[in-house]
Structure 1
């Protein structure tokens, strides 16, 4: 990693800490620069404002979501098992400690700033979740009934995230038994069974 790239990363890491500790409004660029062990001038050479730093961090979070590889449907395997594997893979990524920290930091600011929130959610609509391809291809194969795979994916993720993401996000722990994932998938399958 080049020295300038390392400085940029150090600034972003320091900004994440500062935003998490102080909130966006309370965060100070001088404090971010101190934590990153750089001058304020160096910070402003990389990021013209606190808003630009926040945008860079939001983009990192979006990139993490975009980097999740789509899951293809395998007709030789049980679809429910494939769906369960894909869901657990997704949940493990979004509940990883760094991801939770980024989510807490970004979402707290989005609650405060409606315009920023609208912009962020417009950007999130442009990417598919890893399960979308799996669900779409299973629909094409007639394993589950035909519908909008993006909408179906969002329904399933709303169920799963309610039990496996939000407790981690708000409580820092997850008391939900693993068997609840089977219930989420069973509800999804009951709704999307062929012939319904």
Structure 2
């Protein structure tokens, strides 16, 4: 990693900690620079404002939530099992400790600032979930009925996140039994079965 890249990463890491502890309004670029052990001038060479720093962190969060490779459909395997396997990988990514911390920090600010929230969600909508490809290709193969694959993915993930992401986010633990994932997939399959 080049020296300038390392300084940029140090600034972002420091900003995440500062935003987490002080909130967006309480955080200052001076405190962030001090945490990162860089001058304010160096910070401003990388980010022209506290808002720019927050946007960079928001983008990192979106990228982390989408860091799984798109999952292709395998016609030689049971589709429901493929969905379960892909969803478990996705759950592991979004409930990893750093990812949860980033989500808490960013979402707390989005609740406070409607304009920033709208901008964030507009940006996040341009990213495809890794499971969208699997669902799209299964639709094209005639395994499940055709529909908008992005919409179908969102329906499934709302169910899954309700049981496996939000308890971790709010409680720091997940009391949901693993078997619940099979129920989520079964509901999805019942809704998208051929002939409905």
How many residues in Structure 1 have an aligned counterpart in Structure 2? Answer: 196
Q: 1:16-31 to 2 correspondence within 5 Å?
A: 16-31=16-31
Shift of residue 90, structure 1, vs aligned partner: 0.7
Q: Which runs of 5+ in 1 are unaligned?
A: none
- Kept after mapping to 1: 8 A contact 2:65/2:99: no
Supply the distance in 2 between the matched residues of 1:40 and 1:13 (Cα, whole angstroms).
15
Measure, in 1, the Cα distance between the counterparts of 2:116 and 2:128. Answer: 21
Q: Is the 8 A contact 2:72 2:134 kept in 1?
A: yes
- When the two structures are superposed, what TM-score results if normalisation uses the length of structure 2? 0.97
TM-fit CA distance, 1:67: 3.1
Q: Which moved more, 1:57-66 or 1:133-142?
A: 57-66
- SS in structure 1 opposite 2:76? coil
CA distance in 1, matches of 2:148, 2:8: 41
Question: CA shift at 1:171, angstroms?
Answer: 0.8
Check if 1:136 corresponds to 2:136: yes
Corresponding residue for residue 44 of structure 1:
44
Distance 1:6 1:127 in 2: 26
Distance in 1 (alpha carbons) for counterparts of 2:66 and 2:77: 26
Secondary structure of 1:71's counterpart equals coil
CA distance in 2, matches of 1:74, 1:194: 18
1:78 maps to which residue?
Answer: 78
Distance in 1 of aligned mates of 2:195 and 2:12? 51
Query: Hey, what's the Cα distance between the residues in 2 that align with 1:61 and 1:11?
Result: 16
- Following TM superposition, by how much is the alpha carbon of 1:48 offset from its aligned partner in structure 2, in angstroms? 1.1
Tell me the TM-score normalized by structure 1: 0.97
CA deviation digits over 1:132-181, x for unaligned, max 9?
11111111111111111111100000000000000111111111110110
Cα contact 2:73–2:135 (8 A) shared by 1? yes
